[in-house]
Amino acid sequence: MTSELTLKPILSHNNMTLMRFEIFKKKRQNKSHFKKKITLMLVPHDAKKTYQLNLYYGFIYIVLIISIACFAWAFHIISKDIDYHLTFVDNQKLKSDMASVMFQVKKDDKLLNQVAQLNQKLRIVLGLGSNRKEILEDYADNKLGSSPKQSLIAYLSDPNYQLTQIVRKNLEQLHQEALKQEKNFKQIHFYLKHECSLLLAKPSIWPIKGWITSGFGERISPINGQREFHYGVDIANQGNTPIHATADGIVTFVGWERGFGRVIIIKNGYGYSTLFAHCSKQVVHEGQRVKRGEVIGYVGETGWATGYHLHYQVMIHGVPVNPMKYLPPIT
C-alpha cells in the first residue's frame, strides 16, 4: 500500500516533465521552421551564369504580412477617394438640379404675379371688388419677408443649408398661391357663366320688325271701345312675317287662348318669360328648347284682332312688365 502511494506522485511528476519537453520541442521546431531557407534560382537563356537567392521562411512571412497590410491600406484609401469623388459628383448634380428648380420657381413666381394682376383687373372690370384682405397680407409678406424667389436665390449660395427643404418650402408656397388663384378664377368663371346665362335669358331683340300700334298700359280697346290695361305691345306687319324668339328658353305652351288666338309662351329662365299672340302658325312644340333669334311662328290675326299684328309680352315671375324696356332702339 505504501509503495503504491509513493509511485503515484512519481508518475505524475514524470508526466509533467514529458509535457514540458513536448512544448519545448514544438517551440524549437517552430523556430527552426522560421530559420529554414528557400532557394530561388534564376537561369538566363544563355545559361552562362545562374543566380541563387536564399530566403528565410520567416522573412517571406514578414514580407507577405507587410504586403497584405499595404494592400489593405491602399484599398481603404482608394475606396475613400472613390467615395469622395462620387459624393462630389452627386453634389454637383444636386446643385445643377437645384438651379434648374430655382429657374422654374422663378418662372412660376412671375407667372403667378401676372395671374394675380389679371385677376384683380378682371374683378374691377366685372365689379366683383378685390380681395383687400389677401392683398394686404401679400403686401405685408413682401415688406416684412423676402419672396419665395428671393429666399431661394439667397439660400442657394449657402452650401451649409438644406437646399431640398428650401425648395420644398418655396414650391409649397407657390402651390398655395396657385390654389388661391384657382379659387379666384373659379369665382370669376362662375360669375361670368351666371352673367352669360342671364344675358341669354333676358329678352333683348325685336320679335318682328314693324311699328308699334298699341303700347303697354291703359288704352281704349279697339274691340269694344272700353278702357282697359294693355299688358304688352302690339307690333304690326304683314301676315306670315316670321316671329323670332327674343331670348333662349324652353317652350312651355303652344295652343289657343280666348282673345289671343294662337299663342306661344317661352320660359326663358331667371324669372323671365315671353308671350307671342295672334299667330297665324306655330312652328315649335311644348318642351322644345329654342335660341334667341330662332323662328317660332308667323304673324297672323287670330283671336280678337283688327288686323295683322303680334301681341308681345314680357313677364318677370309671371308679372307683365313693359316690353319696351327690353327692346333695343330702332336704327
Nearest to 265 by CA among 242, 285, 280: 285
* In a domain? residue 62: no
147 and 111 within one domain: yes
217 and 197 within one domain: no
Check residue 137 and give its pLDDT. Answer: 44
244 and 221 within one domain: yes
H-helix or E-strand spanning residue 164: helix 163-201
* In a domain? residue 69: no
Looking at the structure of the chain, the number of domains it has is 3
Task: For residue 248, give the DSSP letter.
Answer: -
For residue 135, the SS3 value is: helix
224 and 181 within one domain: no
322 and 216 within one domain: yes
Phi, psi of 257 (to 5 degrees): -130, 140
Check residue 146 and give its pLDDT. Answer: 46
319 and 215 within one domain: yes
170 and 240 within one domain: no
pLDDT in tens, 209-247: 999 999 999 999 888 889 999 999 999 999 999 999 999
148 and 116 within one domain: yes
Chain centre to alpha carbon of residue 132: 25
- Please tell me the distance from the alpha carbon of residue 180 to that of residue 193, in angstroms, as a whole number: 20
Structural domain harbouring 272: 211-326
Phi, psi of 324 (to 5 degrees): -60, -25
Check residue 257 and give its pLDDT. Answer: 95
183 and 102 within one domain: yes
215 and 172 within one domain: no
Check residue 5 and give its pLDDT. Answer: 47
In DSSP notation, 24-52 reads HHHHHHHHHHHT-EEEEEE--TT-S--EE
User: Which CATH number do you get for residue 289?
Assistant: 2.70.70.10
